[in-house]
Amino acid sequence: MTAGLPGTLFVVATPIGNLEDITLRALRILKDVALVAAEDTRRSGNLLRHYGIDTPLISLHEHNEHHRAEHLVRRMHAGDSIAIVSDAGTPGISDPGSRLVRLARQAGLRVEPIPGASAVTAILSASGLSFERFAFAGFPPIRSKDRIEWFEWVKSLVNIPVVCFEAPHRIQRTFVDIETYLVDRPIIVARELTKIHEEWSYFPVEPIPQGSKLVSKGEFVLIIGPEETRLQNFADVSDDEIAHLFGQSTEIVGGTRRDSIKTVADKLNLSPKAVYAALERSKAAPPSRTVASEPGTEGAEAIEPISRQPVAQAIAPPETPESTGATERTEKR
């Protein structure tokens, strides 16, 4: 505390997993301030004890920030400097803290950011993507209407990578929604970044396998890559035609569902994800009436056998077992 002068609010970034990922400046600030406002005092207490810091802690989370922020502003006016920290990363970024920062600025108090570890920049830096811009989308909403709007917004960002977070108990639902709304978008998933069990999974433009082993526990960060442009040699291929080809592949070629999806995708020069989405739409659509094609029939558009050209060729049995092998996604730790 400085006599006669108001205190400063320090917005301090803390490790996202590995306790060594904290700056020397952050440690000095946490030691020097009068109070640390923490999203979870137990977790932040572990960090302070690890570095031998005994600064008092006070809770500041989404359920009490509204009234506690005013109390903290009064303390800073009285001369106390305060550090605000979240469970991991930077306060105010998909975490509590923005209200306190806003009130402090409105009150004319000094606010200083103390930058540090970030899950967003961590996953982008190790993704291998080449880009000059990206979007950060936070957590997908839970409510159905808001969630649909969120996915439609992400879908509109076709030329840039989009980074988002997801909780372990909702990651499977998010995978399902990605298959529905984000066809032709490669996906990179990082689980437990900077921790002992850090795991990376790369999903190119093809359906995400159900029951993937990464659907377990831990915190997830995802990159939804830019849309991949594919040459469309087969224009106006209907969902029914894709479903028909898929059925032929399953009966003639055999193999797994993923094998058949990839076979159809290669035949039509589509992405496997586009084929998967068409199959899902075809299952949900009501059955359509087929008009038989007869010699001399005019005015009615007949549905011809799937072997017609150039929409698609009938899928013949492979000459060798290797000719239908699907390229599996790789999962890297």
* pLDDT, tens digit, 9 for 90 and up, residues 37-69: 999 999 999 999 999 999 999 999 988 888 899
User: Token digits for 59?
Assistant: 């809770």
pTM for the full model?
Answer: 0.66
Residue 230 lies in a domain: no
| 97 and 182 belong to one structural domain | no
Report helix, strand or coil for 7.
coil
The reply to whether 127 and 217 lie within a common domain is yes
Provide the percentage of residues in the chain whose pLDDT is more than 90. 50
- From 224, 259, 288, give the residue that closes a domain: 224
Q: What residue numbers bound the domain in which 92 lies?
A: 8-117
Sequence-distant (≥ 6) Cβ neighbours of residue 169 within 8 angstroms: none
Average pLDDT over residues 101-123: 96
Confidence of residue 319 (pLDDT cuts 50, 70, 90): very low
Burial of 314 (0-12, 13-18, 19+ CB in 10 A): middle
- Do 111 and 144 have their domain in common? no
Q: Which residue among 117, 143, 173 closes a domain?
A: 117
Same domain, 59 and 112: yes
Chosen domain end from 224, 258, 275 = 224
From the list 327, 313, 50, the residue with the least C-alpha distance to 205 is 327
Domain annotation covers residue 231: no
Closest CA to 267 of 253, 256, 280: 253
Within a domain: residue 43? yes
* Residue 262 in tokens: 């990839």
Flag whether 46 is in a domain. Answer: yes
Q: Which two tokens stand for residue 209?
A: 């396998």
68 and 28, same structural domain?
Answer: yes
Does residue 26 sit in the same domain as residue 70? yes
Model pLDDT, residue 321 = 43
* Predicted local distance difference test score (pLDDT) of residue 236: 59
User: Regarding beta strands 57-59 and 35-38, do their DSSP bridges make them parallel or antiparallel, or are they unpaired?
Assistant: parallel
If pLDDT is split at 50, 70 and 90, which confidence band does 252 have? low
Given a contact cutoff of 8 angstroms between Cβ atoms, the answer to whether 317 and 252 are in contact is yes
Kindly state whether residue 150 falls inside one of the protein's structural domains.
yes
Identify whether residues 210 and 125 lie together within a single domain: yes
Comparing CA positions, the residue from 63, 71, 86 lying closest to residue 12 is 86
**What is the CA 204 to chain-centroid distance, rounded?**
14
- Number of folded domains in the chain? 3
Residue 57: closest CA among 109, 108, 112, 12: 12
Residues 246 and 219 in one domain: no
Question: Is residue 333 assigned to a domain?
Answer: no
